[in-house]
Amino acid sequence: AEKPRGADVAGAERVARQAAMAGRPVMLDFEFPELPAWKAARQMLDAGAIGALRHVGVSWMVETYATRMRLKNWKTSATEGGGAIGNLACHAFHYLEWFCGSLASLSAQLSGLPGEAEPSESTAAIAGTFVSGASFNLSV
């Protein structure tokens, strides 16, 4: 399925129920872990080739057409299942857990673009820890 799977938990659960009733799987396509370079990096991490993981920093500075043109749609609206978290950071959460293990905690500061009359969620500054104790920072 394409994003958003649902604008909120209730919407996502409806999609999952419909898929179960139809006897079909439903999933979002997160492709980064399928890249050969990412697989090689994961093997290095798993083998301890670069030492113990202590901290990960991700800076994902992407300007979508919707953001640049200040369009109001799901990609810029958290209430419609998008915004910085639902449109972009969800990919980072997926690959961070794939690389580093389950998340233990996180905190986020969300903001929109300067000068917007209506607030949006265009920027996210996120910090947290993994179950292993390693920490991370994610800027989107």
pLDDT in tens, 28-76: 777 888 899 999 999 999 999 989 999 999 998 887 787 778 777 777 7
Q: What is the pLDDT of residue 111?
A: 85
The Cα 105–Cα 53 span in angstroms is 17
Q: What is the pLDDT of residue 118?
A: 65
The Cα 80–Cα 72 span in angstroms is 10
Question: pTM of the full predicted structure?
Answer: 0.76
Provide the edge-to-edge strand list for the sheet that holds 55-59: 55-59, 135-139, 123-130, 103-111
Q: What is the pLDDT of residue 119?
A: 64
